[in-house]
Chain A
Amino acid sequence: GQQVMQIPQYQHVQEGEDFTTYCNSSTTLSNIQWYKQRPGGHPVFLIQLVKSGEVKKQKRLTFQFGEAKKNSSLHITATQTTDVGTYFCAGATTSGTYKYIFGTGTRLKVLA
């Protein structure tokens, strides 16, 4: 079945350092979404990417969708302690039901 993997699984950074998480799908995606989940919380939507090669920015966050629509990345510039949490990508299949397959997640810890 379709799989979505993320690396790294964990990342500890000093406050002010940059952070990147990578998402790879075994199949071509129709679109990809990114979510942030704080400890004890629920996933909160960050962004959706649809087009091949698309790049979107939200303040310190930069999201990319690969040309083949099978991989994506999230880059955070100058991390802050408020960035702590687990970041998930979620890829939609092309089946038309928009069934989202979540990645394995990257847990980010920011040390002050």
Chain B
Amino acid sequence: ETGVTQSPTHLIKTRGQQVTLRCSSQSGHNTVSWYQQALGQGPQFIFQYYREEENGRGNFPPRFSGLQFPNYSSELNVNALELDDSALYLCAAAGYNEQFFGPGTRLTVL
């Protein structure tokens, strides 16, 4: 067990809707990254948060936004959902030399 939890496990939304995904780390790691993993592909880096500030961003549009809270839990918000947003969303808490991934949230956009 990595100690990283994500909620919800599965989610179904329709195009145009907004979604919030959550991530928490039992160990209180101060750096968290979010990834999008489409079926059959590797995880794609969305962004990283360090001490509540965005600390790096991948090639994702502004409708993907995030928050990190003082307890180091984190949220990923996606506005104006598109069909291509259907994927497994993973958060990863960064340790000294490794990343601890949560089980992911499977998002389906209809």
In the assembly, what is the distance between CA of A90 and CA of B92, in Å?
Answer: 13
Neighbour of A99 across the interface among B48, B88, B100, B103, CB < 8 A: B48
Instruction: Say yes or no: is B33 at the interface (Cβ < 8 Å to chain A).
Output: yes
Q: Majority SS of interface residues in chain B?
A: strand
B49-61 toward A: CB 8 Å interface, digit per residue (1/0)?
0000001101100
Whether, in the assembled complex, B72 has its beta carbon less than 8 Å from a beta carbon of chain A, the answer is no
Interface size on B, residues (CB 8 A): 25
Q: Which candidate, A12-20, A43-51, A72-80, is the interface stretch facing chain B?
A: A43-51
Complex A-B: 21 CB contacts under 8 Å:
A1-B59, A35-B101, A42-B103, A42-B104, A43-B99, A45-B99, A45-B100, A88-B42, A90-B43, A90-B99, A97-B48, A97-B56, A99-B33, A99-B48, A99-B56, A99-B58, A100-B33, A100-B99, A102-B42, A102-B45, A105-B41
